[in-house]
Chain A
């Protein structure tokens, strides 16, 4: 039996009671969706979604499917981590997808190999000096692109006081234009072997998980994380309490930019090519992952764990639809419905809490 105490105003309260963490709801939703696909699979396809049904493989789960689920969301997931900390601190970042496009083009230009099958690289952007450079060069150039884009976003938002939506919308359009201009719309291909190794196999998953752990720690245990929540929760109070809000915002958007460009490096390495249209809609997918994961668009609430779970829900839905052999069009529609449903559920939860 819970201990009941009389507190302020004579109201009874239970000191042991804590609000159920939002992440738990997301986890339950993930399990429900997986279970739904499992049941539908058994009924419609006569096959299991989650478990291994082949005799020649000796594992309980269908590992191939599980790894595809996480692999296909891990690159957008890296963006989503950046977007999560932006939204928690009360902003929004629409430029991620375009930064992916621009960074992929620019980084790939410095990652090309001189000879393809004994012939000179047919997609060469620069002269010989830019061929077969050490892998660190394209990576640093790429991250530099993201840093610059993020700092421009951040300084526009912090110092000219224009809304984050507008500032990052401008960056979204500009960076997409840059990525098309860079090689007149031509794809850039044939990277060096060491660059190609960055996104090979399950590397994107490793990078995603490592970043998720790192940013979970940062958001939970450091001053940076605490100030993100404080600013997103009550910017005036944060300012009044001596937090340098402008500096913090610069940092938040710079980190979001760097993460987007990191996603671009991994993506172009994985695809062995960079195209001007890379990363289109990634920013919205990333925001959707965060929102499904319980990150509040009004700021102050949410977590990296929630976003990771949101990303997994995304991956499960895409995989599940493929598994059920449904058209990709349905995926889009269902994704849209789930995004809206997640926000509606969050609103209900909050209203109930303020009333109760």
Chain B
């Protein structure tokens, strides 16, 4: 069982009377790319928010990298090795690319409390390396990202996650706001992560993308996991049937 990076047992989240997530049993193995699909309000984002520590679960257990965890916030999850690319970009528009990559984890030449001296050259060099390994092309990393297109900014956000994610990347609809070419670029980056063996959970509405990219598809419906299907053993119609509830009761383990 050592190849399991993330496991949830009976994960449940209620907002007052609303059962947003009910008894979710989920397993992600090392190097595996899994898509989480489902209709709006099916519990996908709720599920991610529990795993990344943005919200605190009502009940259930989360095991990460062999240990039961209880992240009190996204920072703690990040320190444990979970990087998240959020739907809303968590980037500072007025800063350049290296500053955004190293936001909150700057490198220093010497430390002097708040007036610690930034090691700008090393951060810039490592940024270029990180962009290279994730195959992100940015015209000029020294420009503030305000001047960049949505796709380029999303690439910066993904490169940031990829550069630091030691154990797991979670992407919440990374291509929702992007054009065709930009989407292709982001998908290439995701394939690169697969080759490097970085496990990923991808939330997406785009079934074509899901079938292109991941090994396994987990379907959420009304707060429950209703299916967990290997990509090669299913097809689009099958998935849609599960999403809309035409097919499927419940699976005990996803």
B92 CB contact (under 8 Å) in A5, A10, A14, A237: A237
Looking at A92-100, A102-110, A227-235, the stretch in contact with chain B turns out to be A227-235
Q: Which 8 A-B pairs have the closest CB atoms?
A: A241-B104, A300-B94, A242-B104, A9-B181, A233-B92, A233-B94, A241-B103, A237-B90
Q: Which residues of B contact A251 (CB under 8 A)?
A: 114
A229 CB contact (under 8 Å) in B89, B92, B143, B181: B92
What is the CB-to-nearest-CB distance from A125 to chain B, in angstroms, rounded to a whole number? 36
What is the CB-to-nearest-CB distance from B19 to chain A, in angstroms, rounded to a whole number? 27
Looking at A15-23, A127-135, A187-195, the stretch in contact with chain B turns out to be A15-23
The yes or no answer to A224 lying at the interface (CB within 8 A) is yes
CB proximity to B under 8 Å, residues A184-220 = 218
The residue in chain A whose Cβ has the minimal distance to the Cβ of B152 is A8
Q: Which residues of A contact B140 (CB under 8 A)?
A: 15-18
B104 CB contact (under 8 Å) in A11, A13, A14, A243: A243
Q: Which residues of B contact A17 (CB under 8 A)?
A: 140
The yes or no answer to B185 lying at the interface (CB within 8 A) is yes
How far apart sit A8 and B148, CA to CA, in the bound complex (Å)? 10
| Interface SS, A side | helix
Contact B103 A10 (CB under 8 A): no
A residues touching B (Cβ–Cβ < 8 Å)? 5, 7-11, 13-19, 218, 221-224, 226-227, 229-230, 232-234, 236-238, 240-243, 248, 251, 300-301, 353
The residue in chain A whose Cβ has the minimal distance to the Cβ of B106 is A223
| Interface SS, B side | loop
How far apart sit A62 and B78, CA to CA, in the bound complex (Å)? 60
What is the CB-to-nearest-CB distance from B170 to chain A, in angstroms, rounded to a whole number? 14
**Which of the listed residues B95, B143, B152, B182 has the most CB atoms from chain A within 10 Å of its own CB?**
B95
CB proximity to A under 8 Å, residues B66-99 = 74-75, 78, 86, 89-95, 99
How far apart sit A226 and B117, CA to CA, in the bound complex (Å)? 10
Question: Would you mind naming 20 contact pairs between A and B with Cβ atoms under 8 Å apart?
Answer: A7-B137, A7-B152, A8-B155, A15-B140, A18-B140, A18-B142, A19-B144, A221-B117, A222-B114, A223-B114, A223-B118, A226-B99, A226-B106, A226-B118, A229-B99, A230-B95, A237-B91, A242-B75, A242-B105, A300-B92
Contact B139 A7 (CB under 8 A): yes
Q: Which residues of B contact A226 (CB under 8 A)?
A: 95, 99, 106, 118
Contact A234 B181 (CB under 8 A): no
